[in-house]
Amino acid sequence: MGKYSGVIKHSGSMPTKHYDHNCGGKLYVDAERFLEPEDVLFAGSFFGRVTMPPGSSIGYHEQNCTPAGDFEIYYIISGKYLATFNGKEEELGPGDVMVCMNGDWNGMENIGEEEGVCLAMILTGKKGEE
């Protein structure tokens, strides 16, 4: 076994942080952190589940993960969202993905009648040769 080893974490053992009016949004979001950066060799700074009650939102903002990462990914597990991405609105639902690079403008609101759940990751990337 090398210097680093994998990790197993059990449900209920991972911290959840409550954010009121996230990025100027409505109500609140809860973010459960599955992994710490050192668990994944610092490939990113957030790996977890974001839960949003009906009517809540992450306010429209310019993505800036630096120095924690280069981009953020949302994978929708449940709920119905209205995403605003670089000025354009689009509905998102289960199985949809939104990738926000540093400098992109984005936000999303749970427009459904049920709690919405997303997997979220803030990752660092390596640019390929152009």
pLDDT of residue 38: 87
| % the chain with pLDDT above 90 | 53
What domains are defined for the chain? Answer: 16-123 (2.60.120.10)
Token digits of residue 47: 């790996």
> What is the C-alpha separation between 24 and 122, in angstroms, rounded?
19
Collect all residues with Cβ–Cβ distance below 8 Å to 34 and sequence separation of at least 6: 9, 14, 47, 48, 49
pLDDT of residue 64: 83
Question: What confidence category does residue 68 fall into, taking pLDDT thresholds of 50, 70 and 90?
Answer: low
* pLDDT, tens only, 96-123: 999 998 889 899 999 999 999 999 998 8
pLDDT of residue 127: 63
What is the chain's mean pLDDT, rounded? Answer: 89
C-alpha pair distances (Å), 67 with each of 43, 44, 76, 107: 12, 10, 25, 20
